[in-house]
Amino acid sequence: MLQNAPLRGRILDRNGVVLAESVPDKSALCGYVRRYSEPSLAGLIGYYVPEYGLIDGIEKQYSSILNGEDNHLPLEELINQTLHRHFIGNDIYLTIDVRIQRSINRLFTDYHPKTDALYQRPPFKNMVYASNRGAAIVSNPRTGEILAIVSAPGYDPNRMVQTLSHSDLSYFDKINQNPDQPLLMRPLKARYAPGSIFKTVTLMAALDTGATTLDHPWSQREAIGPIVYDGRRIMGDNLGYGLYTFHFPITTAYAYANSDNIVFAQLGVSTGRETWLDYTRRLSIDQALNFDVPTVRSSVQNADKSPLTVLQLASNAFGQGVDNVTPLQMVLVDNTVANNGILMRPMVLAKIVDKDENPLQIFSPQILNTVVSKETAYQVRQAMNGVTTCGSGWRLNTVFSSPDAIIGKTGTAEIGGGKEAHSWMITQAPFWSTDPDQVPALSIVAMRENAGEGVYAVGPAIWKMYREIFRQGYIKVTLPPGNNPYMYCPAQGLWQTHS
């Protein structure tokens, strides 16, 4: 009977804002339909239409909890039937902050390089391409909590529910047949070549094992090549010899700041295949990821399980080769560096409560692994500071006059086949260069498919995200003193002059 059907519980954000709830609809099965207050979370939450099943997400993964089946007492059911009233399911609170979610979604999807004046000025001009496909994730590296998660393009879960509830498949068919795959939850389910952001993994392994130091010198031949493995030449020193690099040796920090593939290929090989793979496993790569909703496994190994060749190891070390990762996986890498080498389990569930707000289950932060030492993690943060202050990301601070002490790594992943590169950045803020114990409060990872240079395709949106989150007080932080690149970079050997 409709009056005895369970009233599905709500889904709420960390602050109690209702994200999903059941509302009366006499024409719908069971007498109600789901309503969603933040459509940009459709990829995470999914949608619920009883007669059409469920799509992956919170609604599906925790359906029995939302329906109250897990603590449904027979006596209570009998009373409800006698009184002709709905059984009320349990509520689920997420770690999501809907204020941050709305900010991130708006800033990430506002990408119009053909008409935005920013992309008509040097050095942004002709560096990126239009793309509506990608992912962005904001998290707390100290706890592993996901604060916002965007999969683009998305879809309207309310329209999906309204149409399917009346046996109208037109909207579902339109979305399902869209070549841009709006139903694909890209942050969790799509795998990509990571490009140069994966140099961060190699740097972690190389520093932690003593295979390099940030001030290790690299001669001109070592830094520019040619270098050959298995008969194939490694390309891409990215050092701009004669433009901004004039002298050798350079350091490992300089190679990371300017994304030198040649140096990082050698670092991967010198670290050694098994050791390098051990560090990737510490980061949960090539393993099932312990997350609250389904995700796919990232990998850096051959699909046929054959050992990596030397060439593959060298290429993997700078983010090409057979590296194949989800955006969520790169959040784990980013957060490990931010959290002094300790990897926290990524989490999106905060607590489950009954209809009277009595807690049934509370989810606490959990350590997954100690990946590298505290000293190594701080050195990697120093290197990431070199990227955004002096290297491939320094223009973002110049253009946006950012006081937010953002550090990170840029990535432009070549995918071949005549297609434009995938665009990546992993970032964290604020960074205190004078205090290793002061870890960043926030991390943001973003990528766009086939959009070109990562620093220009996703960097502007990320810089705006930090500014809005910090200025609005969504995350309260104390910012460190400003860092003048014109003094810092030459002093650190990260800028050179011709003379």
Query: With 80 as the cut, is the pLDDT of residue 230 above it?
Result: yes
C-beta atoms surrounding 405 within 10 Å: 23
Q: Give the rounded percent of residues in the chain with a pLDDT score beyond 70.
A: 95
Paired tokens of 288: 């099932």
* 273 to 222, 278, 311, 397: CA distances (angstroms): 20, 8, 11, 37
pLDDT digits (tens, 9 = 90+) for 72-84: 544 444 444 444 4
Q: Which CATH number fits domain 2-87: 1.10.287.70, 3.30.499.10, 3.30.70.330, 3.90.1310.10?
A: 3.90.1310.10
Looking at residue 269, its pLDDT comes to: 98
* 22 to 68, 200, 494: CA distances (angstroms): 14, 45, 57
Looking at residue 77, its pLDDT comes to: 46
Looking at residue 78, its pLDDT comes to: 43
Measured distance CA(30)–CA(392) in Å, rounded: 56
Give the CA count within 13 Å in the CB-facing half-sphere of 24: 3
Measured distance CA(254)–CA(246) in Å, rounded: 12
Which letter does DSSP use for residue 3 in this model?
G
Q: Residue 56: name the closest of 45, 65, 70, 69 by CA.
A: 45
Looking at residue 81, its pLDDT comes to: 45
What are residue 304's DSSP bridge partners?
A: none
- Where do the domains of the chain lie? 2-87, 100-157+184-349+365-491
Element (H, E) at 384: helix 374-389
pLDDT digits (tens, 9 = 90+) for 30-40: 778 999 999 99
pLDDT digits (tens, 9 = 90+) for 346-397: 999 999 999 999 999 999 999 999 999 999 999 999 999 999 999 999 989 8
Looking at residue 402, its pLDDT comes to: 77
Looking at residue 70, its pLDDT comes to: 62
Q: What is the mean pLDDT of residues 39-54?
A: 90
Q: Which residues contact 391 (CB under 8 A, 6 or more apart)?
A: 256, 257, 258, 259, 494
Measured distance CA(308)–CA(302) in Å, rounded: 7
Q: Which residues contact 372 (CB under 8 A, 6 or more apart)?
A: 204, 205, 207, 208, 279, 336, 341, 380
pLDDT digits (tens, 9 = 90+) for 443-476: 999 999 999 999 999 999 999 999 999 999 999 9
CATH 3.10.20.600 fits 100-157+184-349+365-491, yes or no: no
Paired tokens of 174: 């339109």
pLDDT digits (tens, 9 = 90+) for 419-443: 999 999 999 999 999 899 999 999 9
Average pLDDT value for the chain:
93
Which letter does DSSP use for residue 340 in this model?
T
Query: With 80 as the cut, is the pLDDT of residue 261 above it?
Result: yes
C-beta atoms surrounding 219 within 10 Å: 10
More confident residue, 239 or 26: 239
**pLDDT bucket at 4, cuts 50 / 70 / 90:** very low
Q: Residue 96: name the closest of 148, 41, 36 by CA.
A: 148
Q: 3-state SS of the chain: helix, strand, coil percent to 5?
A: 35, 20, 45
Contact 368, 345 (CB under 8 A): yes
Q: Residue 191: name the closest of 322, 354, 374 by CA.
A: 322
Helix ranges (DSSP H) in 146-272 = 157-165, 170-176, 186-189, 199-209, 220-224, 252-257, 261-271
Looking at residue 400, its pLDDT comes to: 87
Which letter does DSSP use for residue 256 in this model?
H
**pLDDT bucket at 26, cuts 50 / 70 / 90:** confident
Among 41-50, 120-129, 488-497, whose mean pLDDT is lowest?
120-129
Phi first, then psi, for residue 160 (nearest 5°) are: -60, -45
Looking at residue 44, its pLDDT comes to: 98
> What pTM does this model have?
0.95
Which letter does DSSP use for residue 118 in this model?
G
Measured distance CA(423)–CA(452) in Å, rounded: 6
Query: With 70 as the cut, is the pLDDT of residue 165 above it?
Result: yes
Q: Residue 427: name the closest of 401, 392, 398, 451 by CA.
A: 392
Q: Which residues contact 73 (CB under 8 A, 6 or more apart)?
A: none
Query: With 90 as the cut, is the pLDDT of residue 499 above it?
Result: no
